[in-house]
């Protein structure tokens, strides 16, 4: 049988393949060899097709290649066959003949015991078929991995008298759970992750070229901090102590600025025990950068430059298509204070209002709040519901109320505010930055205020970190800090509408 019979059940198909595996072993064919010498990828052959193949070369069969990948389709025509071999970078057509590879290998192994999805290695020479398709003429053929579980295949059905083809693997939940299958049968998905990787490389190069040091900080922390978030907890048996998975790496990076580095950054996995949505995964990646002797005005310019470069290098343009929007990452992004943005959108001036007054305004605007929320959290809820979703082009929201930002320095000219900005793009926060608070007395007061909120029921409020306060007492120079959500930025740069589409293995409920 040359390929799986669709009418058979999954169990029957697997049983059929296991029998083929047994027969291969009985013949002395190793279905799982240790290695294979690959000289070219499919994309390399296609990219240089014109350079490598002249009429003379086709006649003389001078260009040889060795490729490996999965058999995705095949057409058997008696003593010869064509099949499509899919490797990590695309598909190349292969032509195989009985007279070239041998009767037993062709008639018994290739025609009867090889299935779609099996991984094979082929060595041969290139030619162009009469239909103009670049093809590898097989001189040798080797089974590299016998596949037991069949790949999903597209199915045809008849609806209203018309044939309809249903995708083999289009269900989102299945694709997230079995990303390994998704990548095989939907190979275009690989491009999303290649772009994500390239995006990180560009950002890393921008920072290292400026002399900033890439570092690593603890994931397991005795006291979590650096963000308003609920942590995951764990237990260290040898020390008999509770530890937390970090919610941010901010406080450790600032310790390094205290220690004398002028610029440090880290691409970090962080963990927050919060709800899940198309913008939230409990495990996520962000890069944090801290630079001494700079402030948030300087950092806004830096972010514009870096993300503009990312867009340009990924897309060849500063303009990126995201859904129905064209988002322009050219320099000159709008900058507007947070309370001004709220007033502009809702007509409500929230400056100086206490918690009771803010609860009342939130109710008038249809924004849900509760008694555990302080003034900062209420303002954040109003902004998040009424303003943020409408900010599509890159926009710096600046100058936050002090209650919202316990680690940011007080504004140099605006009472009750801090020097902080968030970049909002495509309706969601992408990055957060402050002129960092380096006054240890002020910082202690702010963290103690956070502890009161926590005692009142806010489980996302920060704790007092005595070692961090001690570090500040040794002196941290004027510093600016930045955190960029890599997953959300990747969503924008690859035009994906869910965070799960830019994560290889998003968290899912158990099957």
How do residues 418-446 score in pLDDT, each as one tens digit?
A: 999 999 999 999 999 999 999 999 999 98
pLDDT of residue 113: 97
Evaluate if residue 162 carries a pLDDT over 80.
no
Query: What are the tens digits of pLDDT across the range 444-495?
Result: 998 898 888 878 877 777 888 999 999 999 999 999 999 999 999 999 999 9
Q: For residue 495, give the nearest of 195, 232, 211, 107 by alpha carbon.
A: 195
The per-residue pLDDT for 2 is 42
pLDDT at 315: 97
Could you tell me how far CA 206 lies from the centroid of its own chain?
Answer: 19
- In this model, does residue 58 exceed pLDDT 60? no
Percentage of the chain exceeding pLDDT 70:
93
What residue spans define the domains of the chain?
Answer: 10-145, 158-185, 189-333+393-502
pLDDT, tens digit, 9 for 90 and up, residues 378-415: 999 999 999 999 999 999 999 999 988 888 999 999 99
The per-residue b/e assignment along 235-271, b for 16 or more CB within 10 angstroms, e otherwise, is eeeeeeeebbbbbbbbbbbbbbbbeebbbbbbbbebb
pLDDT in the model for residue 244: 95
pLDDT tens for 91-133 read: 999 999 999 999 999 999 999 999 999 999 999 999 888 888 9
Are 487 and 271 contacting, i.e. CB atoms less than 8 angstroms apart? no
51-65, 209-223, 252-266: least confident range: 51-65
**Token couple for 221:** 């922390």
Q: Residue 157: is its pLDDT beyond 70?
A: no
Give the per-residue pLDDT at 405: 87
Q: Is the pLDDT of residue 51 over 90?
A: no
Q: Kindly tell me if the per-residue pLDDT of 1 is higher than 50.
A: no
* Contacting residues for 464 by C-beta, under 8 A, at least 6 apart: 444, 447, 448, 450, 451
Model pTM score: 0.90
Q: What is the pLDDT of residue 161?
A: 63
What are the counts of helices (DSSP H) followed by strands (DSSP E) for the chain?
17, 20
pLDDT score for 462: 83
What pLDDT score was predicted for residue 275? 85
3-state secondary structure of 247: coil
Per-residue confidence (pLDDT) for residue 55, from 0 to 100: 54
Confidence of residue 170 (pLDDT cuts 50, 70, 90): confident
Q: For the chain, what is the largest distance between any 2 Cα atoms, rounded to a whole number of angstroms?
A: 87
pLDDT at 159 over 50: yes
What element of type H or E holds 165? strand 162-166
CATH number for the domain running over 189-333+393-502: 3.30.930.10
The residues with which 77 forms a beta bridge, in sequence order, are: 80
Per-residue pLDDT tens for 333-381? 999 999 999 999 999 999 989 999 999 999 999 999 998 888 988 999 9
The matching CATH number, chosen from 3.30.497.10, 3.40.50.1220, 2.40.50.140, 3.40.50.300, for 10-145 is: 2.40.50.140
């Amino acid at each position: 049988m040359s390929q799986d019979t669709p009418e058979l059940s999954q169990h029957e198909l697997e049983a059929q393949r296991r029998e083929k595996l047994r027969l291969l072993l009985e013949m002395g064919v190793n279905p799982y060899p240790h290695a294979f010498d690959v000289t070219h990828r499919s994309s390399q052959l296609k990219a240089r097709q014109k350079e490598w193949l002249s009429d003379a070369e086709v006649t003389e069969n001078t260009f040889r290649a060795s490729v490996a990948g999965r058999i995705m389709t095949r057409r058997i025509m008696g003593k010869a066959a064509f099949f499509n071999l899919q490797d990590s970078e695309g598909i190349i057509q292969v032509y195989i003949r009985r007279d070239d590879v041998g009767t037993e290998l062709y008639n018994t192994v290739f025609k009867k015991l090889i299935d779609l999805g099996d991984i094979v290695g082929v060595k041969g020479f290139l030619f162009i078929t009469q239909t103009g398709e670049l093809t590898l003429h097989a001189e040798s053929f080797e089974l590299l991995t016998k596949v037991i579980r069949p790949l999903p295949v597209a199915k045809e059905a008849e609806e209203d008298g018309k044939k309809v083809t249903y995708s083999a693997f289009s269900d989102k939940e299945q694709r997230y759970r079995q990303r390994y299958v998704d990548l095989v049968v939907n190979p275009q998905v690989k491009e999303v992750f290649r772009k994500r990787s390239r995006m990180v490389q560009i950002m890393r190069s921008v920072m290292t070229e400026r002399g900033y040091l890439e570092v690593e900080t603890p994931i397991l922390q005795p006291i979590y901090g650096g963000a308003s978030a609920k942590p995951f907890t764990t237990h260290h048996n040898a020390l008999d102590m509770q530890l937390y998975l970090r919610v941010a790496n901010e406080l450790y990076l600032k310790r390094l600025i205290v220690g004398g580095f002028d610029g440090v950054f880290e691409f970090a996995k962080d963990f927050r025990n919060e709800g899940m949505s198309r913008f939230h995964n409990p495990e996520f990646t962000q890069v944090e950068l801290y630079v001494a002797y700079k402030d948030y005005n300087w950092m806004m310019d830096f972010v514009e430059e870096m993300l503009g470069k990312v867009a340009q290098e990924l897309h060849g343009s500063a303009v990126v298509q995201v859904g129905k929007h064209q988002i322009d990452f050219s320099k000159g992004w709008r900058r507007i204070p947070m309370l001004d943005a709220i007033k502009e959108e809702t007509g409500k001036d929230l400056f100086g209002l206490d918690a009771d007054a803010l609860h009342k305004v939130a109710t008038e605007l249809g924004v849900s709040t509760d008694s555990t929320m302080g003034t900062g959290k209420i303002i954040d809820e109003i902004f998040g519901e009424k303003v943020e979703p409408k900010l599509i082009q890159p926009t710096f929201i600046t100058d936050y109320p002090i209650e919202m930002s316990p680690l940011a320095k007080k504004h140099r000219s605006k009472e009750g505010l801090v020097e902080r900005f968030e970049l909002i793009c495509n309706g969601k926060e992408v990055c957060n930055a402050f002129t960092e608070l380096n006054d240890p007395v002020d910082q202690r007061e702010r963290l103690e205020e956070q502890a009161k909120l926590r005692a009142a029921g806010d489980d996302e409020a920060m704790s007092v970190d005595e070692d961090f306060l001690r570090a500040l007492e040794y002196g941290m120079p004027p510093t600016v800090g930045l955190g960029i959500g890599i997953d959300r930025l990747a969503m924008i740069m690859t035009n994906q509408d869910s965070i799960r589409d830019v994560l290889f293995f998003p968290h899912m409920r158990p099957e």
